[in-house]
Amino acid sequence: MNKEEFVKEVEKLGISVDDKILKSLNTYYEMLIDYNSHTNLTRITGEEEVYLKHFYDSLTLIKAVKLNNQTLLDVGTGAGFPGLVLKIVFPNLKVTLVDSLNKRIIFLKSVIEKLNLKGINAIHERIEDYAKTSRESFDIVTSRAVASLPVLSEMCIPLVCEKGLFIPMKADAKGEIKSSQNAIKTLGGVLRDTILFKLPKDAGERTLIIIEKINKTSVKYPRKFSEIKKKPL
């Protein structure tokens, strides 16, 4: 997906990108490739592939929720997908990026500083520890992390405020949705919808899972990651 195709496909999502946004994304891409040369952030490095599988893919969150000035948390953000891309395109969002690997946070902070972005934080912390001080603080929590949905739900739903949304972004989640029903209910959530679609250029299928937080989460969640992984809800 070249830049012209990116603009056209993003417009189909109902998003208009101006020259400032495109310039910021280009700077982000250049910094990603430079940093990735010595610190592994992504195996996807070709410009057209990054614009499709990272930048465009991040923006598909708009299929699930209208974005304006909400508080948004990106769990296990990695190189900033989707959270940093969303902040660039939707500058009124108040974004927090959390990752357990400090090398990634150092990179994200350098991009944030270079682009002079305000209303965004990059935090080095395990998400189960971060949840102890920031539970039920966010309108939207999202993640492209590869953890299974039952595991991801316990790490993320405690951070969603009541009436807020947890929207994991998955490639294929058919089996995971069924196995996560107990976890979602136990943590105070309810499954509202699943949105299945294909990326342009036959780049694969994607699923957005929309979970609404309808009740507070018990303070005993999230447990330690080893416990979550060993015995998912």
Mean of the pLDDT values across residues 126-151? Answer: 92
Does the pLDDT value for residue 164 go beyond 80? yes
Q: What domains sit in the chain, N to C, each tagged with a CATH number? A: 63-230 (3.40.50.150)
pLDDT value of position 93:
98
Per-residue pLDDT band at 43 (split at 50, 70, 90): very high
Burial 165-199 (b: 16+ CB within 10 A, else e): bbbbbbeebeebbeebbebbebbbbeeeeeeeeeb
Does the pLDDT value for residue 146 go beyond 90? no
Does the pLDDT value for residue 140 go beyond 80? yes
Percentage of the chain surpassing pLDDT 70?
A: 100
The DSSP element (H or E) to which 193 belongs, if any, is strand 189-198
The number of beta carbons lying within 10 Å of the beta carbon of residue 7 is 17
Distance CA 98, CA 122 (A): 6
pLDDT value of position 28:
98
Distance from first CA to last CA of the chain, Å, rounded?
Answer: 40
pLDDT value of position 172:
79
Q: Using the structure block, give the residue that is written with the tokens 């012209």.
A: 4
pLDDT value of position 174:
77
Cis peptide before 168 (omega within 30 of 0): no
Does the pLDDT value for residue 41 go beyond 90? yes
Fill in the DSSP letter of residue 217: P
Name the residue type at position 72: L
The tens digit of pLDDT for each residue in 168-222 reads 999 877 788 989 999 999 999 999 999 999 999 988 899 999 999 999 999 999 9
Pairing of β 205-213 and β 189-198: antiparallel
Question: Which of 55, 94, 92, 50 minimizes the C-alpha distance to 74?
Answer: 94
The tens digit of pLDDT for each residue in 64-91 reads 999 999 999 999 999 999 999 999 999 9
Q: Give the angle subtended at the CA of 89 by the CAs of 115 and 146, to the nearest 5°.
A: 95
Distance CA 82, CA 167 (A): 11
Under 8 Å CB-to-CB from 125, ≥6 apart: which residues?
Answer: 98, 100
pLDDT value of position 203:
86
The tens digit of pLDDT for each residue in 22-38 reads 999 999 999 999 999 99
Distance CA 48, CA 79 (A): 17
